[in-house]
């Protein structure tokens, strides 16, 4: 079987040359390419950029309907393409339902923000930090007291010492100041950022431990603020985010809960725990359909999650015998 590539889609020669179908090869390819995109997100299904405005969504849907609605092929033999067209059109309608509604579109845009978009936000944050460090360094150069202590070697040595001793917070502090005085030193830069990362992780895990204790003691308010502090210190702390979401739901604060759950999914899209937390939050918010979807995703990632199974069961209805 020879296969050719078209818009990044692999076509099956057998389907492409199916007999008794009144469609030319270009149309067949367009339909098959659309079918191959069905598993992608709503934006991609409609061929849109992430976060495209409602007007564009509607226009794209109308254009797509003209190509993929089965009625456009009345009186023609379609073979297996009839089913394909219907599937494509249904999926596009589903995408339109969400994206043509302002509120649902905004929520969906947040949950589907691409990695590049996050990278851009992160980059902006780093840039801000770099500027503030520069400013501090400028001030430091003008301050004779600090200027004396600003010999880089001294600071770097002290920082490394603290790093060895496991005092990452102090190490990060010294190394960063040293680095700001000698920005061209790559060894200092990587050491400083490693120290910073470890300091954050340590801080996060301290907050996380405190939060766990607080939650066990039943002081949910404290637990929630500690979980959030942990997450602030280390945005990749999935367990803190998930547990925080759980506590926020218990406290009835759905906005915070959803924020935390979404943070968890972003931090670790491949961890069942994150999806479970999101599902739980959505369920509490009454969005059963989305909740089911999130829980099913969790179960897909980890089929042994009995709590998820139980929860899913509750979301389904019984049939009268």
Judged by the rule CB under 8 A, the positions of this chain that interact with another protein are 58-59, 62-63, 65-66, 69-72, 74-76, 86, 89-90, 93, 312-313, 316-321
In whole angstroms, how close is the CB of 86 to another protein at the nearest point?
Answer: 5
Residues 212 and 218: their CA atoms lie apart, in Å, by: 10
Kindly tell me which of 131 and 309 has the beta carbon lying closer to another protein.
Answer: 309
Kindly tell me which of 37 and 228 has the beta carbon lying closer to another protein.
Answer: 37
Alpha-carbon torsion (216, 217, 221, 226), positive or negative: negative
For residue 131 the two structure tokens come to 């500027």
Q: Which residues pair with 10 in a beta bridge?
A: 5
In whole angstroms, how close is the CB of 291 to another protein at the nearest point?
Answer: 13
HEC secondary structure over 30-46: HHHHHHHCCCCCHHHHC
Kindly tell me which of 19 and 317 has the beta carbon lying closer to another protein.
Answer: 317
- Residue 57: exposed, middle, or buried by beta-carbon count in 10 A (0-12, 13-18, 19+)? buried
Q: Which residues pair with 9 in a beta bridge?
A: 6
Kindly tell me which of 107 and 140 has the beta carbon lying closer to another protein.
Answer: 107
For residue 103 the two structure tokens come to 């509120």
In whole angstroms, how close is the CB of 308 to another protein at the nearest point?
Answer: 14
Residues 242 and 227: their CA atoms lie apart, in Å, by: 9
Asked if 285 and 258 touch (Cβ cutoff 8 Å), the reply is yes
For residue 206 the two structure tokens come to 């301290």
In whole angstroms, how close is the CB of 89 to another protein at the nearest point?
Answer: 6
Question: Whose CA is closest to 65, among 91, 101, 32, 38?
Answer: 91
In whole angstroms, how close is the CB of 246 to another protein at the nearest point?
Answer: 24
In whole angstroms, how close is the CB of 51 to another protein at the nearest point?
Answer: 22
Strand, coil or helix: 185: coil
In whole angstroms, how close is the CB of 101 to another protein at the nearest point?
Answer: 8
Spell out the alpha helix ranges (H) of 69-184: 80-99, 102-111, 115-142, 144-149, 152-165, 168-181
Residues 178 and 169: their CA atoms lie apart, in Å, by: 14
Kindly tell me which of 160 and 293 has the beta carbon lying closer to another protein.
Answer: 293
| Torsional class of 185: left (φ above 0), alpha (ψ -120 to 50), beta (otherwise) | beta
Kindly tell me which of 148 and 316 has the beta carbon lying closer to another protein.
Answer: 316
Kindly tell me which of 85 and 268 has the beta carbon lying closer to another protein.
Answer: 85
Kindly tell me which of 86 and 206 has the beta carbon lying closer to another protein.
Answer: 86
For residue 139 the two structure tokens come to 């001030």
In whole angstroms, how close is the CB of 72 to another protein at the nearest point?
Answer: 6
């Amino acid at each position: 079987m020879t296969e050719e590539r078209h818009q990044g889609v692999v076509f099956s020669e057998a389907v492409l040359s199916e007999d008794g179908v009144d469609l030319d090869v270009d149309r067949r390819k367009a339909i098959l390419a659309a079918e191959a995109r069905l598993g992608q997100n709503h934006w991609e299904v409609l061929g849109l950029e992430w976060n495209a405005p409602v007007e564009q969504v509607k226009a794209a849907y109308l254009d797509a309907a003209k190509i993929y609605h089965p009625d456009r092929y009345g009186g023609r033999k379609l073979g297996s393409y009839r089913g394909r067209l219907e599937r494509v059109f249904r999926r596009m309608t589903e995408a339109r339902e969400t994206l043509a509604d302002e509120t649902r579109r905004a929520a969906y845009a947040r949950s589907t923000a691409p990695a590049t978009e996050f990278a851009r936000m992160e980059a902006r944050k780093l840039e801000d930090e770099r500027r503030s460090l520069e400013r501090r360094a400028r001030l430091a150069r003008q301050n004779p007291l600090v200027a004396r202590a600003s010999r880089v070697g001294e600071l770097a040595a002290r920082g490394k010492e603290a790093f060895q001793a496991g005092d990452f917070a102090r190490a990060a502090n010294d190394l960063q100041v040293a680095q700001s005085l000698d920005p061209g030193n790559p060894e200092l830069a990587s050491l400083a950022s490693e120290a910073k990362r470890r300091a954050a992780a340590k801080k996060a895990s301290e907050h996380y431990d405190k939060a766990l204790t607080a939650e066990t003691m039943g002081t949910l308010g404290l637990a929630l603020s500690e979980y959030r502090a942990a997450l602030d210190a280390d945005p990749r702390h999935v367990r803190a985010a998930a547990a925080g979401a759980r506590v926020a739901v218990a406290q009835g604060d759905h906005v915070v809960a959803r924020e935390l759950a979404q943070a968890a999914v972003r931090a670790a899209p491949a961890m069942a725990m994150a999806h479970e937390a999101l599902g739980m939050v959505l369920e509490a918010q009454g969005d059963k359909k989305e909740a089911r979807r999130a829980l099913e995703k969790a179960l897909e990632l980890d089929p042994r999650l009995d709590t998820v199974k139980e929860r899913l069961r509750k979301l389904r209805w019984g049939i009268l015998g």
